[in-house]
Every structure is written in structure tokens, then in C-alpha cells.
Amino acid sequence: MTFKVTILGSGSAKPSLTKHHSAQVVNLYEQHYLVDCGEGTQNRLLRVGVSPMKINAVFISHLHGDHVFGLFPLISSMGLMGRKVPLHVFAPRPFDEIMEHHFRYFDTELPFEVVWHEVHTTAHELLYENNVMEVWSLPLRHRVPTAGFLFREKTPGLNVRKEKIAELGLGVAQITAAKRGEDVTLADGRVVPNGELTYVPYPPRSYAYLSDTNYSGKAVSLVKGVDLLYHEATYADNMRKEAKQRGHATTLQAVKAARESGAQRLVIGHFSSRYKDDSVLLDECRAEFAETYLAEEGKTFEIVPQKKN
């Protein structure tokens, strides 16, 4: 039931001695998903102990170099490491053309397939799904077509109330049926509705990645109740004008998104290289929203199940 997000890079485009370009790895039930892939991501993955071979799928928010330049080097290395399973890449157009050109000149004999899936940056669509989670696109407001991503756990499997097992003398077959969501028939013919026997052990968890973007009410409305919200905060709040012009957000705009979405925790990142000490940005946020954290490189944010019983 692992659900955690590890920050690989938290800098904005202008190079910095201390920060790398945007990239994160989401671990959901020990399946690994890469979100954005700035230069050097493969090295950052190794440093946090995640083999590039473990990456199932990659989600690229937009086609600015600082969010994508690490992807082809990563793909090359996966080839050298002998990957055989397809890699699914979710990215807006014209990623297809960029990929086609890459493979014309590099990795011409890659031992695995790279499967591109188009992300429509104006839509809220289901992009990816397995038996425990879904990934949805979130329309964002940047200088080029950009999407955020919502990682949403499916409703966890039902637990059966222990007191009911004892009270009704349920057997293995009845318990199994209850876990499947079925009503249970007792020996005396009485039918017990499933709702009386079971409960959802914890509410499904979610993580939203909103970068790069101006504050977007629409995106916020799509991530209501999110447990962990990553929102870019390229600038301190005294730079709202520059943020607006450049398709970015300030600290307090990230806080606004966290508050309005009802997020439990806010992680800010994509810091402008002008800030030598990001605690300036953190302090601005914490004054308004205590549960704010810096996207420090190498740091992992775990989303722990909030048990009801």
C-alpha cells in the first residue's frame, strides 16, 4: 500500500549549482512512475535508489527543455541496461515528432518499445489505470500547452468487521463473499446486507502535481480533497506580475490552491535560481498554511492511510 513521492529536481529552468530540473518519482504500491524528466534525471534516480528499469510510465507536463531533456538519455540507458518491457510516455504533442527525430539519430536499435500517449492539455481525462490506481490529466495555465497530473488510489478493498464475524459466526466462504462486496446468507436463511458487515479501511489517497502554471481555479476544482498537493512556487509573492507574465505562480498562489482544494499538505517547488535560500519561500507559505514543505531534492513525501477504525 505504498504511496510516496520522491523529489528528484526542484529548480526552474535557469541553471543552479544546488538544484536540478523538474523530476519526481511516484511510488504507488511499489510501481514507479516518473513525473517530468529534466536533465540528469537518470543520475538522480540512481541517487535515490530507484533503478531506471523500475519506471513503468513517464508523465511529461509540457515540452519545455527543463521538464523533458532528461528523457531521451534515460531511454538510451534503459536500452543499454537491457530493458525489454515497453515504456509508456504520456506527453502533449508534438512529443511524437520529437521522439521520431530522436530515434532517427540515436538509439536506432532500442531493445524495447517506447509507446507515446497523447495528453490533451485542455482536458481532464483518465490517462492510465491499473487495479489500484488511476492517473488523470489536469489542464494548467502556462506559456505552452501544459497538463498537471492527479494520481488517485482506487477505493481500497473492503475489510470485514471483526465483531460481526464473532456475532454471526461467519465462516471463510462468507467472509470472502463479504470482502467481494456481496450480501451474506446465514445458516438460518437470514440475509445480512454487505454494508452491515464491511467497511472501507481508509479513504483512497491522492497526489496532484501542478507545474508549471499560473494559479488555476479549474485545476484546483479538479483536485478537491487531495492528500498531497505539489504546486509550483517559482517566485515569492512580491513577484506576482512576473509570475503572471511567465506562466508561473507565487508562494501565496500555491497556498491559495492548497486551501481551496482542501489539501492536507502542500509541497512547493520549481524555485527560481534567484533565491539562494528557499526558506524565504517556505516562510511565506507557512505563515498562511502550516503544512507546507519545500520540494527538497532527495526528499520523500509519504501518504499514509488515514484509518477510520
Q: Which of 2, 47, 113, 183 binds a second copy (CB under 8 A)?
A: 47
Residue with cell 527543463: 66
* Cβ atoms within 10 Å of 67's Cβ, excluding its own: 26
For 211, residues 6+ apart whose C-beta sits below 8 A from its C-beta are 22, 36, 61, 140, 148, 230, 231, 232, 269, 270
- Asked if 13 touches a second copy (CB under 8 A), the answer is yes
Q: How far apart, in whole angstroms, are the C-alpha atoms of residue 226 and residue 109?
A: 42
- Asked if 298 touches a second copy (CB under 8 A), the answer is no
* 278 among known catalytic residues: no
Q: Which of 5, 70, 153, 160 binds a second copy (CB under 8 A)?
A: 70
Q: How far apart, in whole angstroms, are the C-alpha atoms of residue 70 and residue 157?
A: 37
Measured from the CB atom, the residue of 68 and 252 that comes closer to a second copy is: 68
Measured from the CB atom, the residue of 78 and 236 that comes closer to a second copy is: 78
Residues in contact with a second copy, shown as a per-residue x/- string from 106 to 145 under the rule CB under 8 A: xx--------------------------------------
- Asked if 96 touches a second copy (CB under 8 A), the answer is no
Measured from the CB atom, the residue of 98 and 158 that comes closer to a second copy is: 98
Q: CA gyration radius for the chain?
A: 22
* Cβ atoms within 10 Å of 109's Cβ, excluding its own: 6
- The C-alpha angle 110, 115, 121, rounded to 5 degrees, equals 140
**How many residues bind a second copy, per CB under 8 A?**
32
Site of interaction with a second copy (CB under 8 A): 13-17, 20, 39-40, 42-43, 46-47, 52, 63-66, 69-70, 72-73, 76-77, 80-81, 94, 97-98, 101, 105-107
